[in-house]
Amino acid sequence: MLTPSGCARALVAAAFLLIFPSACQSGGNKSPQVQRALREFEGAYPLEARPLGTVRTFDLVAEPTEVPLIDGHRLRVWAYNGQVPGPQLRIRLGETLRVRFTNRLPQETTIHWHGVRLPNAMDGVPHATQPPVQPGETFVYEFTPKDAGTFWFHPHVRSSEQVERGLYGVLIVEDVEPPPYSRDVVWVIDDWLLDETRQIFPRFNTRHDLAHDGRWGNVITVNGRTDEVLRVRPGERIRLRLLNSSNGRVVTPDFSGLQAKLIAVDGLYLSAPIDPSGFELAPGNRVDIDLTFNQLSGAPLRIVDRFHARQSNHLADIVIEGEPLDTPTFGSPARAHVPAWKVGLEVPEHHTFRLNARGGGPLGIEWTIDGLAFAGHAHPHASGLTLKQGQFYRLRYVNESARLHPIHLHGMFFRLLARDGVPVDELFFRDTVLIHGREEVDIALVPTDAGSWMMHCHILEHAEAGMMTMIDVKKE
Ligand code: C2O
Ligand code: CU
């Protein structure tokens, strides 16, 4: 039972945070564990956008082009505004983003705003939230993000081809008062499969890629280069935002030996900064790192990926040079609270998703969720699950396959509770979690936004071969 004082407290919180007041009325038939989880969630992040009335307008055009990428030769790509990565869209929390998008590709497309809590109609899922944008057509995306942080955008039609060809960009929503870093730097990590002519290997969704962990390439780039160098001055304190935009490759960037703190995951701040080492940056994931360079110049610092224990991959270098600067001193930004949700594992799971594969379907292999595959469709009308806005849920994933599945939910953040039944205490929310072969993962969430939200594997070949479904969030 919700005590009267608890109810009054919830109503006070409601006034400030637009908490769902109905949680009070129906509190009586919720278990004490669920009531506790909901109380812990209060104030974790804003429930509503607060538009300031400022509209920031950008034009985006998707079209085939040639760019001097990778080692400087002409690479034929598909790009937003002729750039790979696409233009960096930067707004401040409370501002409204308006993107006038034009499709000049030979295929239909959409833009999905990965990680952004926005109105369902702006989510960019073809046939589910909008008709696909046909070649030659224009579509206007307009929304006010509810959260500050590092987000990204990419097509949601034939993603395994369109993202691989170069269509992606970063959306940064700055805090109302951004912390005073010396600089804010973005590293977009991508993995390319080039053929012997050094062009993008033109066959997509190959049997090999479908049967394994998607399309892993032979060239890894940071911001489109194999030789990205970040030049810093002694004393600088940098906010480094990393995105993994690869179709399939997972990277574990190694910052050991540096003064580095992990401050945000998938856009949202942690409740306290932690050591970034070992974070598996799966396709779709973002991390923000707080880096301070106290040492004077020296040998270039090599940042490598250590996802595979036996083979490390070079990502980029950091060179310290020049006149020293005064290091800005301030506490690393953090979220006031992230629910511990230790009670989450005591709440019965609302649903168990079973992830697996089988032969068949248009691509020869189908990746399934609960035995269903939506191959070649980004628009399953059959909803996999219905949830209620403002309610607390534990969901479980059982990976019955031996492959990797970075599972991504649109329109909501979740917390990881356990891997293989062992509680995991992450100090952060996520929108994407890597599930390893044969692994079982428990997550918890409170959906905040009504609508039809996609859930899929972010290994884009797995998604194209069916590993996607919809979660319908109903108003309470
Ligand atoms: Cu990057 Cu449906 O997601
Ligand atoms: Cu997968």
Task: Tally the domains of the chain.
Answer: 3
253 with 311: CB under 8 angstroms? no
pLDDT of 99-143, one tens digit each? 999 999 999 999 999 999 999 999 999 999 999 999 999 999 999
User: How many Å apart are CA 117 and CA 148, to the nearest integer?
Assistant: 10
The residue whose CA is least distant from atom 3 of ligand 1 is: 114
5 assigned to some structural domain: no
pLDDT on residue 297:
74
Min mean pLDDT across 181-185, 299-303, 360-364, 371-375 is at 371-375
Domain identity same for 353 and 241: no
Atom of ligand 1 nearest to the CA of 456: 2
Distance 113 CA to ligand 1 centre (A): 8
Atom of ligand 1 nearest to the CA of 114: 1
CA dihedral (42, 151, 164, 199) in degrees, to 10, reads -160
CATH of the domain at 457: 2.60.40.420
Domain identity same for 466 and 421: yes
Ligand at shortest distance from the CA of 246: 1
Atom of ligand 1 nearest to the CA of 115: 1
Atom of ligand 1 nearest to the CA of 156: 2
Domain identity same for 163 and 231: no
Domain identity same for 196 and 269: yes
Distance 410 CA to ligand 1 centre (A): 7
pLDDT on residue 374:
84
Domain identity same for 96 and 162: yes
pLDDT on residue 21:
43
* Single residue among 304, 320, 336 that ends a domain in this structure: 320
Distance 171 CA to ligand 2 centre (A): 25
User: How many Å apart are CA 277 and CA 293, to the nearest integer?
Assistant: 17
pLDDT on residue 9:
41
Distance 390 CA to ligand 2 centre (A): 29
Min mean pLDDT across 45-54, 142-151, 377-386 is at 377-386
278 with 309: CB under 8 angstroms? no
Residue 274: helix, strand or coil by DSSP? strand
20 has a pLDDT exceeding 70: no
User: How many Å apart are CA 114 and CA 152, to the nearest integer?
Assistant: 5
Domain identity same for 272 and 234: yes
Distance 458 CA to ligand 2 centre (A): 6
66 assigned to some structural domain: yes
Domain identity same for 306 and 348: no
Distance 267 CA to ligand 1 centre (A): 14
Ligand at shortest distance from the CA of 115: 1
pLDDT of 290-338, one tens digit each? 999 998 777 899 999 999 989 999 999 999 999 999 999 999 999 988 9
What is the pLDDT of the chain when averaged over all its residues?
A: 92
Model confidence band, residue 27 (pLDDT cutoffs 50, 70, 90): low
336 assigned to some structural domain: no
pLDDT on residue 384:
81
Atom of ligand 1 nearest to the CA of 125: 2
Quick one: which of 149, 167, 150 has its CA closest to 158?
Answer: 167
* Single residue among 174, 203, 220 that ends a domain in this structure: 174
To which H or E segment does residue 20 belong? none
Distance 243 CA to ligand 1 centre (A): 13
Model confidence band, residue 448 (pLDDT cutoffs 50, 70, 90): very high
Query: What are the structure tokens assigned to 242, written together?
Result: 């990393």
Residues with a beta carbon under 5 angstroms from ion ligand 2: 405, 457, 459, 462
What whole-number percentage of the chain has pLDDT above 90? 88
Ligand at shortest distance from the CA of 160: 1
State mean pLDDT over 62-74: 89
pLDDT on residue 13:
41
Domain identity same for 190 and 165: no
Ligand at shortest distance from the CA of 209: 2
Residues enclosing ligand 1, CB less than 6 A? Answer: 112, 114, 154, 156, 284, 408, 410, 454, 456, 458
Distance 114 CA to ligand 1 centre (A): 5
pLDDT on residue 28:
60
352 has a pLDDT exceeding 60: yes
Amino acid at 396: R
74 assigned to some structural domain: yes
335 assigned to some structural domain: no
pLDDT on residue 380:
53
Model confidence band, residue 70 (pLDDT cutoffs 50, 70, 90): confident
Query: What are the structure tokens assigned to 344, written together?
Result: 């989450």
pLDDT of 152-182, one tens digit each? 999 999 999 999 999 999 999 999 999 999 9
For the chain, counts of helices (H) and of strands (E)? 6, 29
* Adjacent-strand bridge partners of 418: 423, 442
User: How many Å apart are CA 270 and CA 263, to the nearest integer?
Assistant: 6
pLDDT on residue 367:
97
State mean pLDDT over 17-34: 62
Quick one: which of 141, 140, 153, 171 has its CA closest to 79?
Answer: 153
234 assigned to some structural domain: yes
Atom of ligand 1 nearest to the CA of 152: 1
36 assigned to some structural domain: no
Distance 408 CA to ligand 1 centre (A): 7
Domain identity same for 363 and 313: no
Radius of gyration, CA atoms only, the chain: 22
Model confidence band, residue 12 (pLDDT cutoffs 50, 70, 90): very low
Residue 72 CB-density burial (10 A; 0-12 exposed, 13-18 middle, 19+ buried): exposed
The residue whose CA is least distant from atom 1 of ligand 1 is: 114
398 assigned to some structural domain: yes
Ligand at shortest distance from the CA of 373: 2
pTM confidence score: 0.93
pLDDT on residue 105:
98
Ligand at shortest distance from the CA of 285: 1
pLDDT of 374-396, one tens digit each? 866 655 556 789 999 999 999 99
pLDDT of 232-254, one tens digit each? 999 999 999 999 999 999 999 99
Distance 373 CA to ligand 2 centre (A): 12
pLDDT of 209-239, one tens digit each? 999 999 999 999 999 999 999 999 999 999 9
State mean pLDDT over 461-468: 96
Model confidence band, residue 22 (pLDDT cutoffs 50, 70, 90): very low
Domain identity same for 187 and 316: yes
* Adjacent-strand bridge partners of 368: 356
* Single residue among 145, 174, 203 that ends a domain in this structure: 174
Domain that holds residue 228: 183-320
Atom of ligand 1 nearest to the CA of 284: 1
Domain identity same for 290 and 397: no
Domain identity same for 109 and 161: yes
Atom of ligand 1 nearest to the CA of 283: 1
